[in-house]
Amino acid sequence: MTSDVGVYPSIGILQNESAFRTTEDNFSSRLAQYEKIDKIGEGSYGTVYKAWDRTMQRFVALKVITWSSQEEGIPNTAVREVSLLREVAHPNVVQLIEAIPQGVKLTLVFEFLEKDLHKLCESRITPIIGAKLKKIMFQLLVGLHACHCRRIVHRDIKPQNILSNKDETVFKLADFGLGRAFCVADQTYTYEVMTLYYRAPEILLGETRYHSSVDMWSMGCVMAEMALRRPLFSGETAIVHFIKICKIMGTPNEQTWPGIELLPHYNAQLPQWQGVDLAAAVPTLDEQGIDLLRQFFVYSPEHRITAYQALQHGWFDEVREECESELQPQLFQRYNERVL
Ligand SMILES: Nc1ncnc2c1ncn2[C@@H]1O[C@H](COP(=O)(O)OP(=O)(O)OP(=O)(O)O)[C@@H](O)[C@H]1O
Ligand SMILES: [Mg+2]
Protein backbone atom coordinates (compact mmCIF):
# COMPACT_ATOMS: atom_id res chain seq x y z
CA MET A 1 0.00 0.00 0.00
CA THR A 2 2.87 2.41 0.72
CA SER A 3 3.49 3.21 -2.95
CA ASP A 4 -0.18 4.16 -3.23
CA VAL A 5 0.00 6.74 -0.52
CA GLY A 6 0.24 10.43 -1.00
CA VAL A 7 0.32 10.80 -4.75
CA TYR A 8 -3.25 12.00 -4.84
CA PRO A 9 -2.49 14.86 -2.50
CA SER A 10 -6.15 14.93 -1.72
CA ILE A 11 -5.39 13.46 1.67
CA GLY A 12 -6.23 16.24 4.04
CA ILE A 13 -5.97 15.05 7.59
CA LEU A 14 -6.49 17.20 10.62
CA GLN A 15 -4.67 15.94 13.65
CA ASN A 16 -6.60 16.78 16.77
CA GLU A 17 -5.23 15.64 20.10
CA SER A 18 -8.49 16.02 22.00
CA ALA A 19 -10.62 14.04 19.59
CA PHE A 20 -13.25 12.94 22.05
CA ARG A 21 -13.88 15.47 24.75
CA THR A 22 -13.85 14.41 28.35
CA THR A 23 -16.78 14.14 30.70
CA GLU A 24 -15.81 17.50 32.22
CA ASP A 25 -17.51 19.13 29.26
CA ASN A 26 -21.09 20.11 29.64
CA PHE A 27 -22.77 17.67 27.28
CA SER A 28 -26.26 19.09 27.75
CA SER A 29 -25.23 22.58 26.76
CA ARG A 30 -23.41 21.21 23.74
CA LEU A 31 -26.57 19.40 22.68
CA ALA A 32 -28.63 22.53 23.25
CA GLN A 33 -26.56 24.24 20.58
CA TYR A 34 -28.39 22.12 18.03
CA GLU A 35 -32.04 22.74 17.30
CA LYS A 36 -33.75 19.65 15.82
CA ILE A 37 -35.84 20.50 12.76
CA ASP A 38 -36.88 17.26 11.09
CA LYS A 39 -36.37 13.52 11.26
CA ILE A 40 -34.66 12.63 7.96
CA GLY A 41 -33.94 8.97 8.24
CA GLU A 42 -33.62 5.78 10.19
CA GLY A 43 -30.53 3.65 9.64
CA SER A 44 -28.91 0.56 11.09
CA TYR A 45 -27.45 2.43 14.04
CA GLY A 46 -29.96 5.08 14.89
CA THR A 47 -32.17 7.97 13.88
CA VAL A 48 -30.97 10.91 11.80
CA TYR A 49 -32.30 14.46 12.27
CA LYS A 50 -31.72 17.67 10.38
CA ALA A 51 -30.79 20.35 12.90
CA TRP A 52 -29.70 23.98 13.07
CA ASP A 53 -26.35 24.74 14.66
CA ARG A 54 -27.03 27.99 16.54
CA THR A 55 -23.38 28.75 17.21
CA MET A 56 -22.02 28.20 13.72
CA GLN A 57 -25.25 29.26 11.92
CA ARG A 58 -25.39 26.20 9.66
CA PHE A 59 -27.42 23.04 9.19
CA VAL A 60 -26.08 19.78 10.61
CA ALA A 61 -27.23 16.16 10.67
CA LEU A 62 -27.56 14.56 14.11
CA LYS A 63 -27.32 10.79 14.30
CA VAL A 64 -28.65 9.59 17.64
CA ILE A 65 -27.54 6.11 18.66
CA THR A 66 -29.02 4.47 21.75
CA TRP A 67 -27.43 1.48 23.46
CA SER A 68 -29.59 -1.26 24.81
CA SER A 69 -27.32 -2.06 27.73
CA GLN A 70 -28.61 0.13 30.57
CA GLU A 71 -25.75 -0.64 32.99
CA GLU A 72 -22.70 -0.23 30.84
CA GLY A 73 -23.52 2.80 28.69
CA ILE A 74 -21.46 3.51 25.60
CA PRO A 75 -18.71 0.93 25.06
CA ASN A 76 -15.15 2.28 25.08
CA THR A 77 -14.46 0.61 21.75
CA ALA A 78 -17.13 2.75 20.08
CA VAL A 79 -15.77 5.87 21.75
CA ARG A 80 -12.27 5.10 20.47
CA GLU A 81 -13.42 4.47 16.91
CA VAL A 82 -15.47 7.64 16.84
CA SER A 83 -12.45 9.57 18.10
CA LEU A 84 -10.46 8.29 15.15
CA LEU A 85 -13.13 9.37 12.70
CA ARG A 86 -13.13 12.91 14.02
CA GLU A 87 -9.54 13.17 12.89
CA VAL A 88 -10.37 12.52 9.25
CA ALA A 89 -11.15 15.69 7.35
CA HIS A 90 -11.54 15.38 3.62
CA PRO A 91 -13.79 17.18 1.10
CA ASN A 92 -15.18 13.86 -0.13
CA VAL A 93 -15.92 12.39 3.29
CA VAL A 94 -18.88 13.66 5.32
CA GLN A 95 -17.30 15.41 8.28
CA LEU A 96 -18.02 14.20 11.78
CA ILE A 97 -18.07 17.50 13.67
CA GLU A 98 -18.41 16.15 17.18
CA ALA A 99 -19.65 13.26 19.26
CA ILE A 100 -21.69 13.95 22.38
CA PRO A 101 -22.21 11.06 24.82
CA GLN A 102 -25.11 11.18 27.30
CA GLY A 103 -25.90 8.06 29.31
CA VAL A 104 -26.80 5.27 26.91
CA LYS A 105 -27.11 7.76 24.06
CA LEU A 106 -24.47 9.00 21.68
CA THR A 107 -25.20 11.93 19.36
CA LEU A 108 -22.94 12.19 16.34
CA VAL A 109 -22.98 15.62 14.71
CA PHE A 110 -22.22 15.58 10.97
CA GLU A 111 -22.05 18.26 8.31
CA PHE A 112 -25.39 18.36 6.48
CA LEU A 113 -25.83 17.46 2.82
CA GLU A 114 -29.04 17.88 0.85
CA LYS A 115 -29.26 14.65 -1.12
CA ASP A 116 -28.37 10.98 -0.93
CA LEU A 117 -27.47 8.93 -4.00
CA HIS A 118 -30.29 6.45 -3.44
CA LYS A 119 -32.98 9.12 -3.53
CA LEU A 120 -31.15 10.96 -6.30
CA CYS A 121 -31.20 7.83 -8.54
CA GLU A 122 -34.87 7.19 -7.70
CA SER A 123 -35.82 10.73 -8.66
CA ARG A 124 -34.26 10.42 -12.10
CA ILE A 125 -35.82 8.78 -15.12
CA THR A 126 -32.49 8.14 -16.81
CA PRO A 127 -29.33 6.44 -15.55
CA ILE A 128 -26.25 8.43 -14.55
CA ILE A 129 -23.70 8.03 -17.33
CA GLY A 130 -20.84 9.80 -19.12
CA ALA A 131 -18.90 12.66 -17.51
CA LYS A 132 -21.35 12.98 -14.59
CA LEU A 133 -20.79 9.34 -13.60
CA LYS A 134 -17.03 9.76 -13.95
CA LYS A 135 -16.98 12.88 -11.76
CA ILE A 136 -19.00 11.19 -9.03
CA MET A 137 -16.83 8.08 -9.06
CA PHE A 138 -13.62 10.12 -9.10
CA GLN A 139 -14.66 12.15 -6.06
CA LEU A 140 -15.74 9.09 -4.10
CA LEU A 141 -12.51 7.25 -4.91
CA VAL A 142 -10.42 10.22 -3.79
CA GLY A 143 -12.30 10.23 -0.46
CA LEU A 144 -11.99 6.47 -0.17
CA HIS A 145 -8.27 6.56 -0.88
CA ALA A 146 -7.78 9.14 1.87
CA CYS A 147 -9.52 6.89 4.40
CA HIS A 148 -7.84 3.68 3.23
CA CYS A 149 -4.49 5.43 3.69
CA ARG A 150 -5.49 5.96 7.32
CA ARG A 151 -6.37 2.26 7.55
CA ILE A 152 -10.04 3.12 7.91
CA VAL A 153 -12.33 0.78 5.99
CA HIS A 154 -15.91 1.88 5.37
CA ARG A 155 -17.51 -1.62 5.30
CA ASP A 156 -20.94 -0.39 4.27
CA ILE A 157 -20.67 1.64 1.08
CA LYS A 158 -24.10 1.91 -0.55
CA PRO A 159 -26.08 4.68 -2.27
CA GLN A 160 -27.76 5.70 1.03
CA ASN A 161 -24.30 6.37 2.46
CA ILE A 162 -23.26 8.61 -0.43
CA LEU A 163 -24.42 12.20 -0.06
CA SER A 164 -24.32 15.20 -2.35
CA ASN A 165 -24.93 18.92 -2.28
CA LYS A 166 -28.07 20.39 -3.81
CA ASP A 167 -26.67 20.97 -7.30
CA GLU A 168 -25.08 17.49 -7.41
CA THR A 169 -21.55 18.75 -7.97
CA VAL A 170 -19.96 17.51 -4.73
CA PHE A 171 -20.26 13.90 -3.57
CA LYS A 172 -19.16 12.54 -0.22
CA LEU A 173 -19.01 9.21 1.58
CA ALA A 174 -21.01 9.14 4.81
CA ASP A 175 -20.79 6.87 7.85
CA PHE A 176 -17.15 6.01 7.37
CA GLY A 177 -15.94 3.45 9.89
CA LEU A 178 -19.22 3.34 11.78
CA GLY A 179 -19.49 -0.36 10.93
CA ARG A 180 -16.35 -1.04 12.90
CA ALA A 181 -17.19 1.41 15.66
CA PHE A 182 -20.47 -0.27 16.43
CA CYS A 183 -19.73 -3.88 15.49
CA VAL A 184 -16.86 -4.27 17.90
CA ALA A 185 -19.07 -2.70 20.49
CA ASP A 186 -21.38 -5.70 20.19
CA GLN A 187 -24.27 -3.42 19.54
CA THR A 188 -27.39 -5.16 18.32
CA TYR A 189 -28.53 -3.07 15.42
CA THR A 190 -31.70 -1.17 16.08
CA TYR A 191 -33.66 -2.77 13.28
CA GLU A 192 -33.72 -3.82 9.65
CA VAL A 193 -31.53 -6.41 8.00
CA MET A 194 -28.59 -4.69 6.37
CA THR A 195 -28.66 -4.78 2.60
CA LEU A 196 -26.42 -7.36 0.93
CA TYR A 197 -26.42 -5.83 -2.55
CA TYR A 198 -23.05 -4.10 -2.10
CA ARG A 199 -21.35 -6.78 -0.02
CA ALA A 200 -18.05 -8.28 -1.21
CA PRO A 201 -18.05 -12.03 -1.98
CA GLU A 202 -15.43 -12.79 0.71
CA ILE A 203 -17.81 -11.39 3.36
CA LEU A 204 -20.68 -13.45 1.90
CA LEU A 205 -18.45 -16.53 2.24
CA GLY A 206 -17.77 -15.81 5.90
CA GLU A 207 -14.51 -13.85 5.91
CA THR A 208 -14.51 -11.83 9.13
CA ARG A 209 -11.42 -9.67 8.57
CA TYR A 210 -12.48 -6.60 6.67
CA HIS A 211 -9.78 -5.34 4.32
CA SER A 212 -10.08 -2.15 2.26
CA SER A 213 -10.80 -4.35 -0.79
CA VAL A 214 -14.37 -4.89 0.51
CA ASP A 215 -15.02 -1.21 -0.19
CA MET A 216 -13.73 -1.56 -3.76
CA TRP A 217 -16.27 -4.28 -4.52
CA SER A 218 -19.00 -2.00 -3.14
CA MET A 219 -17.75 0.86 -5.33
CA GLY A 220 -18.17 -1.39 -8.37
CA CYS A 221 -21.75 -2.15 -7.30
CA VAL A 222 -22.50 1.56 -6.86
CA MET A 223 -20.98 2.41 -10.26
CA ALA A 224 -23.00 -0.29 -12.01
CA GLU A 225 -26.18 0.78 -10.21
CA MET A 226 -25.80 4.41 -11.31
CA ALA A 227 -25.23 3.27 -14.91
CA LEU A 228 -28.19 0.85 -14.83
CA ARG A 229 -30.59 2.69 -12.49
CA ARG A 230 -31.01 -0.61 -10.64
CA PRO A 231 -28.67 -2.85 -8.63
CA LEU A 232 -26.56 -5.25 -10.73
CA PHE A 233 -26.53 -7.97 -8.04
CA SER A 234 -29.62 -8.21 -5.88
CA GLY A 235 -30.07 -11.29 -3.70
CA GLU A 236 -32.07 -11.11 -0.49
CA THR A 237 -30.04 -13.74 1.38
CA ALA A 238 -26.27 -14.27 1.39
CA ILE A 239 -26.42 -17.47 -0.65
CA VAL A 240 -28.94 -16.18 -3.19
CA HIS A 241 -26.89 -13.04 -3.53
CA PHE A 242 -23.67 -15.01 -4.02
CA ILE A 243 -25.33 -17.13 -6.72
CA LYS A 244 -26.51 -13.99 -8.52
CA ILE A 245 -22.92 -12.73 -8.54
CA CYS A 246 -21.68 -16.11 -9.85
CA LYS A 247 -24.22 -16.12 -12.67
CA ILE A 248 -22.93 -12.77 -13.92
CA MET A 249 -19.22 -12.92 -13.02
CA GLY A 250 -18.75 -16.70 -13.28
CA THR A 251 -18.35 -19.13 -10.36
CA PRO A 252 -14.99 -18.55 -8.64
CA ASN A 253 -12.62 -21.42 -7.94
CA GLU A 254 -9.18 -21.98 -6.44
CA GLN A 255 -7.55 -20.82 -9.71
CA THR A 256 -9.47 -17.58 -10.06
CA TRP A 257 -9.54 -16.95 -6.31
CA PRO A 258 -6.65 -18.60 -4.43
CA GLY A 259 -7.77 -19.39 -0.87
CA ILE A 260 -11.50 -19.53 -1.59
CA GLU A 261 -11.69 -23.15 -0.41
CA LEU A 262 -10.61 -22.08 3.08
CA LEU A 263 -13.52 -19.68 3.57
CA PRO A 264 -16.15 -20.89 6.09
CA HIS A 265 -19.16 -20.87 3.74
CA TYR A 266 -17.37 -22.09 0.60
CA ASN A 267 -19.42 -24.74 -1.16
CA ALA A 268 -17.62 -26.92 -3.71
CA GLN A 269 -21.01 -28.20 -5.01
CA LEU A 270 -22.00 -24.88 -6.52
CA PRO A 271 -22.63 -25.10 -10.31
CA GLN A 272 -19.76 -23.77 -12.42
CA TRP A 273 -21.45 -20.81 -14.13
CA GLN A 274 -19.37 -19.22 -16.89
CA GLY A 275 -20.68 -15.72 -16.29
CA VAL A 276 -22.03 -13.30 -18.86
CA ASP A 277 -20.52 -10.54 -20.97
CA LEU A 278 -20.36 -7.61 -18.53
CA ALA A 279 -20.65 -5.14 -21.42
CA ALA A 280 -24.04 -6.65 -22.27
CA ALA A 281 -25.11 -6.65 -18.61
CA VAL A 282 -24.24 -2.94 -18.26
CA PRO A 283 -24.77 -1.58 -21.79
CA THR A 284 -24.64 2.08 -20.73
CA LEU A 285 -20.88 1.88 -19.98
CA ASP A 286 -18.22 2.19 -22.68
CA GLU A 287 -15.32 -0.23 -23.10
CA GLN A 288 -13.08 1.56 -20.61
CA GLY A 289 -15.88 1.80 -18.07
CA ILE A 290 -16.44 -1.94 -18.36
CA ASP A 291 -12.71 -2.55 -17.94
CA LEU A 292 -12.71 -0.58 -14.67
CA LEU A 293 -15.90 -2.27 -13.48
CA ARG A 294 -14.35 -5.68 -14.13
CA GLN A 295 -11.40 -4.71 -11.93
CA PHE A 296 -13.73 -3.75 -9.05
CA PHE A 297 -15.31 -7.18 -9.42
CA VAL A 298 -12.11 -9.25 -9.22
CA TYR A 299 -13.00 -12.10 -6.85
CA SER A 300 -9.64 -12.40 -5.12
CA PRO A 301 -9.51 -9.51 -2.61
CA GLU A 302 -5.73 -9.34 -2.96
CA HIS A 303 -5.93 -8.81 -6.69
CA ARG A 304 -8.87 -6.42 -6.68
CA ILE A 305 -8.07 -2.85 -7.78
CA THR A 306 -7.27 -0.32 -5.02
CA ALA A 307 -8.78 3.17 -4.84
CA TYR A 308 -5.47 4.68 -5.85
CA GLN A 309 -5.10 2.38 -8.87
CA ALA A 310 -8.70 3.04 -9.91
CA LEU A 311 -8.00 6.79 -9.92
CA GLN A 312 -5.24 6.23 -12.50
CA HIS A 313 -7.61 4.43 -14.89
CA GLY A 314 -7.96 5.88 -18.38
CA TRP A 315 -11.76 6.03 -18.00
CA PHE A 316 -11.24 9.13 -15.82
CA ASP A 317 -8.99 11.00 -18.30
CA GLU A 318 -11.95 12.97 -19.68
CA VAL A 319 -12.69 14.53 -16.27
CA ARG A 320 -9.34 14.26 -14.50
CA GLU A 321 -8.17 17.83 -15.02
CA GLU A 322 -11.49 19.34 -14.01
CA CYS A 323 -11.80 17.13 -10.91
CA GLU A 324 -8.25 17.82 -9.78
CA SER A 325 -8.53 21.56 -10.27
CA GLU A 326 -11.72 21.65 -8.20
CA LEU A 327 -10.14 19.64 -5.44
CA GLN A 328 -6.85 21.44 -4.96
CA PRO A 329 -7.92 24.97 -3.96
CA GLN A 330 -10.45 23.53 -1.57
CA LEU A 331 -7.80 21.42 0.08
CA PHE A 332 -5.23 24.10 0.48
CA GLN A 333 -7.71 26.54 1.96
CA ARG A 334 -9.38 24.21 4.37
CA TYR A 335 -7.03 21.46 5.35
CA ASN A 336 -3.61 20.93 6.81
CA GLU A 337 -1.67 18.79 4.45
CA ARG A 338 0.04 15.94 6.21
CA VAL A 339 2.60 13.81 4.46
CA LEU A 340 1.86 10.19 5.23
N1 LIG B 1 -24.88 14.05 7.04
C2 LIG B 1 -26.09 13.91 6.53
N3 LIG B 1 -26.69 14.92 5.87
C4 LIG B 1 -27.92 14.78 5.32
N5 LIG B 1 -28.63 13.65 5.35
C6 LIG B 1 -28.09 12.58 5.96
C7 LIG B 1 -26.80 12.65 6.59
N8 LIG B 1 -26.52 11.43 7.10
C9 LIG B 1 -27.57 10.66 6.82
N10 LIG B 1 -28.53 11.33 6.14
C11 LIG B 1 -29.81 10.82 5.63
O12 LIG B 1 -30.39 9.97 6.56
C13 LIG B 1 -30.61 8.69 5.99
C14 LIG B 1 -30.42 7.65 7.04
O15 LIG B 1 -29.08 7.68 7.43
P16 LIG B 1 -28.38 6.47 8.14
O17 LIG B 1 -26.93 6.55 7.87
O18 LIG B 1 -28.79 6.40 9.56
O19 LIG B 1 -29.04 5.23 7.46
P20 LIG B 1 -28.63 4.47 6.15
O21 LIG B 1 -27.55 5.20 5.44
O22 LIG B 1 -29.87 4.17 5.41
O23 LIG B 1 -28.08 3.13 6.74
P24 LIG B 1 -26.76 2.87 7.60
O25 LIG B 1 -27.13 3.14 9.01
O26 LIG B 1 -26.46 1.43 7.37
O27 LIG B 1 -25.70 3.79 7.13
C28 LIG B 1 -29.60 8.60 4.83
O29 LIG B 1 -29.98 7.69 3.84
C30 LIG B 1 -29.59 10.03 4.35
O31 LIG B 1 -30.66 10.25 3.46
MG1 LIG C 1 -25.86 5.83 6.50
Query: Pick the catalytic residue: 25, 53, 156, 286?
Result: 156
Residue 307 lies in a domain: yes
Is ligand 1 within 6 A of the CB of residue 164?
no
149 and 255 assigned to the same domain: yes
Distance 159 CA to ligand 2 centre (A): 9
User: Are 140 and 41 within one domain?
Assistant: no
Same domain (yes/no): 129, 170:
yes
- Is 156 a pocket residue for ligand 1 (Cβ < 6 Å)? yes
Whether residue 309 is contained in a domain is answered as yes
Cα(37) to centroid of ligand 2, in Å?
Answer: 19
Q: Is the pLDDT of residue 28 over 90?
A: no
What is the model's pLDDT at position 290?
98
Measured from the CB, is residue 44 less than 6 Å from ligand 1?
A: yes
Give me ligand 2 centre to Cα 214, in Å: 17
* 101 and 120 inside one domain: no
Same domain, 57 and 130: no
Report if residue 58 sits inside a domain: yes
| pTM of this structure | 0.88
Residues 122 and 65 grouped into a single domain: no
Which of 111, 132, 161 finishes a domain?
Answer: 111
Structural domain tally of the chain?
A: 2
Say if residue 88 is in the same domain as residue 169. no
- Tell me whether residue 208 is in a domain: yes
Say yes or no: 160 and 58 in one domain.
no
| Same domain assignment for residues 168 and 31 | no
**pLDDT tens digits for 201-229?**
999 999 988 899 999 999 999 999 999 99
Q: Identify which ligand lies nearest to the alpha carbon of 192.
A: 1
Do residue 176 and residue 200 come from a single domain?
Answer: yes
Domain identity same for 210 and 105 = no
Residue 132, annotated as binding a ligand: no
Tell me how far the alpha carbon of residue 283 lies from the centroid of ligand 1, in angstroms: 30
Q: Quick check: CB of 120 below 6 Å from ligand 1?
A: no
Instruction: Evaluate whether residue 320 is within a structural domain.
Output: yes
Residue 310 sits in a domain whose CATH number is: 1.10.510.10
53 is catalytic: no
For 126-169, how does the pLDDT look when each residue is reduced to its tens digit (9 = 90+)? Answer: 999 999 999 999 999 999 998 888 888 888 999 999 999 999 99
**Is the distance from the beta carbon of residue 94 to the nearest atom of ligand 1 less than 6 Å?**
yes
Which one of 48, 66, 94 would you pick to mutate in the ligand 1 pocket, going by the greatest count of ligand atoms within 8 A of its CB? Answer: 48
Instruction: Determine contact, residues 99/73, Cβ cutoff 8 Å.
Output: no
Give residues with Cβ within 8 angstroms of 299, minimum separation 6.
201, 249, 252, 256, 257, 260
Q: Sorting pLDDT into bands at 50, 70 and 90, what band is 83?
A: confident
Which residue among 80, 111, 142 closes a domain?
111
| 273 has a pLDDT exceeding 90 | yes
Identify the residue whose C-alpha is closest to ligand 1 atom 7: 61
Spatial separation of the C-alpha atoms in residues 250 and 47, rounded to whole Å: 39
Per-residue pLDDT band at 177 (split at 50, 70, 90): low
Could you say which of 96, 111, 126 is where a domain stops?
Answer: 111
Please name the residue ranges forming H helices in the chain.
27-32, 76-86, 117-123, 130-149, 178-183, 201-204, 213-228, 238-249, 278-281, 287-296, 307-311, 317-334
* Domain shared by 185 and 278, yes or no: yes
Domain enclosing residue 86, as ranges: 24-111
110 CA: nearest ligand 1 atom: 1
In a domain, 104, yes or no: yes
Q: Indicate which CATH number applies to the domain containing 49.
A: 3.30.200.20
